[in-house]
Amino acid sequence: MSEDHDHVIDTGKGTFSIDDLGPLMPGMAEIMPLVGARIWKCYYAGQARNRPLAAFQLKEAVNLMEKGAFLRPKYAENMDKFINEELAVVRKAIDSEDWDTFEAAFQAMVEAANAYHDVYDKPYLRWKIPEMPPPDLDMTPRG
């Protein structure tokens, strides 16, 4: 980068170079817990037969997964596969309000997610659906 294009970012509390942004971008360790929170909400929205909320939460989870794969390309191929296979079955069940299929597809999706954790040498990361609905969002369908 030439001297006159030295982009300095001023946070108001200090400054850093644009080159410092890369390592500051979130990785999977930061993004995955957010995915977990969205997937938790998706599940209980489905339990409550709340199609728009379940669809919204799943979409937000996908956005986070895509962001993770963009920032950490080594996960991109398997992330795409997961989104287009196991997760797509859940999405379809939500869209068609087929709640019996939703239940089975959701369990299969969680199994697949944990199998990917295994692939990345983290077999000790076994995500599970929390036993309680998320306390911060009303799951009741509207109108």
Binding site for ligand HEM (CB under 6 A): 28-29, 32-33, 35-36, 39, 75, 78-79, 82, 109-110, 113, 116-117, 120, 122, 125, 127
Task: Give the nearer residue to ligand HEM in terms of CB position, either 50 or 109.
Answer: 109
Task: Give the nearer residue to ligand HEM in terms of CB position, either 31 or 50.
Answer: 31
**d(Cα 133, Cα 112) in Å, to the nearest integer?**
22
Q: Supply the minimum distance, in Å, between the C-beta of residue 23 and ligand HEM.
A: 15
Task: Give the nearer residue to ligand HEM in terms of CB position, either 33 or 141.
Answer: 33
Q: Supply the minimum distance, in Å, between the C-beta of residue 10 and ligand HEM.
A: 31
Q: Supply the minimum distance, in Å, between the C-beta of residue 91 and ligand HEM.
A: 12
**d(Cα 52, Cα 141) in Å, to the nearest integer?**
8
**d(Cα 39, Cα 80) in Å, to the nearest integer?**
17
Tokens of 124: 């000790």
Q: Are 120 and 126 in contact (CB under 8 A)?
A: no
CB atoms within 10 A of CB 108: 15
10 bridge partner residues: 15
Q: Supply the minimum distance, in Å, between the C-beta of residue 25 and ligand HEM.
A: 14
